[in-house]
Structure 1
Amino acid sequence: MWRQLLEDGRSAFNDHWPHSLLIPATVGLGGALLCWKLNGRNIKTLELGEGWWGPGEKPHTHGEDTRVRPFVVEASESDIEDLHRRLDGTRFFSPLEDSRFHYGFNSAHLRTLISYWRNKYDWKKQVKILNKYPHFKTTIEGLDVHFIHVKPTHLNPGQKVYPLLMVHGWPGSFYEFYHILPLLTDPGNHGLNPNIAFEVICPSIPGYGFSEAPSKTGFTAFAAARIFYKLMLRLGFNEFYLQGGDWGSRITCLLSQMKSESVKGLHLNFVMQMPGGLGWMMSLLIGRYAPWLVGLTREDVKRIYPFMEKNVFTTLRETGYLHLQATKPDTIGSALNDSPAGLAAYILEKFSTATDMSFQDLEDGGLDRKFSLDDLLTNVMIYWITGAISSSVRFYKENFTRNFNNTPDIKMAISVPTGIAAFPCEMAHAPPVWAKQKFHNIVSYTYMPRGGHFAAFEEPELLAQDIQNFVSKVEKI
């Protein structure tokens, strides 16, 4: 197989690249690879730091309240009545013929969604589902941090349990993990390895859902990582595993760099890692025709180039929300916090295109192909009931304003054991050869057969199995 792959690569390379360019291209590539290898070795550990995000000055008269308090999600009649009144008053606009989801959330389908939300969706029923797992709050750095804490239900005598911190992103929430939780905490009854059971902690990022929003500017992923580390210590875990996608990936990576001695392993389903400058260009140019020369596999080629060939247009089309949230979050926050229909359209459009880009060709955005409407609307309701949309989108402003591409972690490798689940419909693909420039101890890398950005929500069985396989390799079970 490898001989054939080598011959195919050489043939393709010879067909598209003159022999006179082979030596300089190879030399240039070698230099780029050397830069990759040397990059990220200047800093060994990120400073943990300290912060205070509550209102006013940090009190000095007494220590922080470290109690862990039970919390229950409630469904008040006044909230439901206000929601229904606003849904009844939705101002719809005329759809374009055959626009589907190419202009954003299809305005014709929005009528269908709002009708379901108003007349069939049962918030009280969904609150009971939310409360089936234990919820808690605790105060850290002046903020009431919300989390769910789920312990295994069926264990063999003396069986080891693995603590796992799972962190969501935007526009998700802790609810993204509700379908994967039983697979991780009770694997034997769900067709998975019964010997690898997890005790799972799923916090809400401050400013999201039921976690209190920071009162001060400057709350970045660094602060979130530090707060979640303190949360794990408060719960009695000095060593633990991490899992994340989207912002959760950034936060867990930072925690791994801050406290590598506490992180037994880092599992990610979203990795944004590309070689910089000349290395990136050489990898892309050569990899299209001779992937073997730059360490790419055929699967990498299948995933990278359809995206890269449309990269400029795709980036412009799919990242408008990011530019807005990273610059003027309170402007869009004001609109979304006032209109449940607008909030649903804004959030659920991402659950269409980020799940599968081809869903934009469908009238309904393919929303019910991977999710139920009840699940999607429950995630929206967590933003609506808590009024968290404004503070959640501010997280982009805080992170991107502060020179996102020149923060201390950029030049620092991640040395903890790492597992990567590469889902094919994710917007960006980081092949192993690129990922290794940042993650120096990749224990497992899996080309997942299906799925997109919201992995735990879309494909809980696939993700749970990959997490188990990763931990089994780290623990050598």
Structure 2
Amino acid sequence: MWQETLPNAWESILSQIRSFEYSQKNVVLVSTATLGVGGMLVYWLRSRHKIKTIEMGDGWWGSGERPLKGKEDESIRPFKIETSDKEIEDLHRRLEQARYAPPLEGAAFHYGFNSSYLQKVVAYWRNKFDWRIDIHFIHVKPSYVPHGRAVQPLLMVHGWPGSFYEFYKIIPLLTEPAAHGLNEGDVVFEVICPSIPGYGFSEAPHQKGFDTVATARIFHKLMNRLGFKEYYLQGGDWGSRITTNMAQMLPQSVKGLHLNLIFVNKQGLRRMISVMLGAYVPWLVGLSREDVRRMYPFIQKNIYELLRESGYLHIQATKPDTAGCGLNDSPVGLAAYILEKFSTWTDKSFLHQDDGGLESKYSLDELLTNVMIYWVTSSIVSSMRFYKENISKDPGLTADARVGVYVPTGIAAFPQEIVHTPHVWAKKIFKNIITYSYMPRGGHFAAFEEPKLLAQDIMHFVRKVEQL
């Protein structure tokens, strides 16, 4: 009996063991599945909060082959602008021999730069203008810092057809705010204003493909070599795109980003619907009354203005060297081409004035200093190439919109800017907008035209960021 029952007992035991093993497998399978789902959930949650960035990468834009590692010159050197007597004599000869086409009667600036007023500008340039600037990339520290105040490094980047000279009037307001009646808490700045490579006194790229991302990389290296680990950024025009790329590239180095023009060009059905509805029920699509006032009638007026003001862009984005040759050879042509932008981009209504309204906002000395920077450096062609390098790769300038900007951002919306971007559109890309200001006056060249207004908005933004 024992012999008969043993196998039965053993079989029972084996059956229980098998049952236990099976249940354990189920537990293992269930546990594994649970862990798998849980792991995926954790990964998904983490990936949601992971900030996408533009790769820092590297590049070589100098002439010839890249030097071996360790052979590049990484020094920061003083730079002094020097213009020879021979260069000035050549300029004067060209100005004296200029030919002018007679303007249409009553055309004002509707056909471009009025040639009658151009003759006045050229006469001033030839006989009265005194060419004197003695610094290149500007690095200005406050001469006095009150006890307890932190000095904030601020990189300011210009655009086209401007230069580092655009910031001359705003720099003292930022480095010595109290001396100029600006009291914005404990905000004092150390200002760095470089020239974009190919503009002014920065060497032009020798290789194709130099775009805003490449510029962003270089400017991060500049700030690093100056000893800064964290810093604020500010820009308009191309400077806006460059500093935005900097914030997308190394967000850990950017304390805050302040812009007076933003690129939000992503189009689509949703945007079209927003535009159409905004004309009638703006509140439904998140537009304010001020947005409506600045944007509409959108279809008729603004589209025509964009077409009228963007002709230069199509030339520079396709065949910059062709038009650039003429401008590089003729100081008068160069002045007309550049100063026309300082007219209509400052105030659209200046189009109706015979002098383009230029001297109502700037002095001829200020305007011609900017033109001279392009002339003595022969940089108009290389500056125009920047359009081709960026737009040929990304015609809608939307590639970096997929990355997003997560650093604290301040936006100053000037009423005479070429395009107006409402807050509701801006936040699709700029995820952490701290301040959005509808500025009371001013246009495209904000730092040059309204330095005090822009300085106040920068200070207000930085103060709020520092209080976070």
Shorter-chain TM range is 0.7 to 0.9
Q: In structure 2, how many angstroms separate the alpha carbons of the residues matched to 1:184 and 1:312?
A: 36
Report matched runs for 1:47-446 at 5 Å.
Answer: 47-60=55-68, 62-123=70-131, 127=132, 130-131=133-134, 135=136, 147-193=137-183, 195-273=186-264, 276-405=267-396, 408-446=399-437
Q: In structure 2, how many angstroms separate the alpha carbons of the residues matched to 1:308 and 1:58?
A: 50
Q: In structure 1, how many angstroms separate the alpha carbons of the residues matched to 2:50 and 2:266?
A: 17
Q: In structure 1, how many angstroms separate the alpha carbons of the residues matched to 2:370 and 2:49?
A: 40
* Cα shift at 1:63: 2.7
Taking a change above 3 Å as real, the CA distance of residues 156 and 393 of structure 1, as seen in their structure-2 partners, is: same
Identity %: 64
The residue identity in structure 2 corresponding to 1:425 is Q
- The superposition leaves residues 199-218 of structure 1 with CA deviations (integer Å, 9 ceiling, x where unpaired) of 00000000000000011110
Native 8 Å contact 2:212 2:242 kept in 1 = yes
The residue identity in structure 1 corresponding to 2:198 is G
* Cα shift at 1:315: 2.3
Deviates more, 1:308-317 or 1:154-163: 308-317
- The superposition leaves residues 411-466 of structure 1 with CA deviations (integer Å, 9 ceiling, x where unpaired) of 11100000000000001111111111111100000000000000000000000000
Give the TM-score normalised by the residue count of structure 2. Answer: 0.87
Native 8 Å contact 1:183 1:461 kept in 2 = yes
The residue identity in structure 2 corresponding to 1:154 is Y
Displacement over 4 Å in runs of 4+: 40-43
Native 8 Å contact 2:263 2:397 kept in 1 = no
Taking a change above 3 Å as real, the CA distance of residues 406 and 462 of structure 1, as seen in their structure-2 partners, is: closer
Q: In structure 1, how many angstroms separate the alpha carbons of the residues matched to 2:93 and 2:65?
A: 39
Give the TM-score normalised by the residue count of structure 1. Answer: 0.86
Q: In structure 1, how many angstroms separate the alpha carbons of the residues matched to 2:462 and 2:51?
A: 27
Tell me, what secondary structure is at the counterpart of 2:351?
Answer: helix
Q: Which has the larger radius of gyration?
A: 2
Taking a change above 3 Å as real, the CA distance of residues 312 and 296 of structure 1, as seen in their structure-2 partners, is: closer
Count matched residues.
420
Q: In structure 2, how many angstroms separate the alpha carbons of the residues matched to 1:449 and 1:351?
A: 19
Taking a change above 3 Å as real, the CA distance of residues 216 and 275 of structure 1, as seen in their structure-2 partners, is: closer
Q: In structure 2, how many angstroms separate the alpha carbons of the residues matched to 1:46 and 1:82?
A: 45
Q: In structure 2, how many angstroms separate the alpha carbons of the residues matched to 1:61 and 1:288?
A: 58
Gaps of 5+ in 1: 1-39, 136-146
Q: In structure 2, how many angstroms separate the alpha carbons of the residues matched to 1:403 and 1:72?
A: 37
Q: In structure 2, how many angstroms separate the alpha carbons of the residues matched to 1:340 and 1:328?
A: 20
Native 8 Å contact 1:166 1:243 kept in 2 = yes
The residue identity in structure 1 corresponding to 2:92 is H
Q: In structure 2, how many angstroms separate the alpha carbons of the residues matched to 1:289 and 1:275?
A: 22
Taking a change above 3 Å as real, the CA distance of residues 407 and 453 of structure 1, as seen in their structure-2 partners, is: closer
Taking a change above 3 Å as real, the CA distance of residues 121 and 451 of structure 1, as seen in their structure-2 partners, is: same
Tell me, what secondary structure is at the counterpart of 1:471?
Answer: helix
Q: In structure 2, how many angstroms separate the alpha carbons of the residues matched to 1:211 and 1:406?
A: 24
Tell me, what secondary structure is at the counterpart of 2:396?
Answer: helix
- The superposition leaves residues 103-155 of structure 1 with CA deviations (integer Å, 9 ceiling, x where unpaired) of 000011111111111111111xxx2xx32xx54xxxxxxxxxxx210001121
Native 8 Å contact 1:41 1:411 kept in 2 = no
Taking a change above 3 Å as real, the CA distance of residues 171 and 406 of structure 1, as seen in their structure-2 partners, is: closer
Taking a change above 3 Å as real, the CA distance of residues 307 and 461 of structure 1, as seen in their structure-2 partners, is: farther
- The superposition leaves residues 351-387 of structure 1 with CA deviations (integer Å, 9 ceiling, x where unpaired) of 0000011101000000011111000000000000000
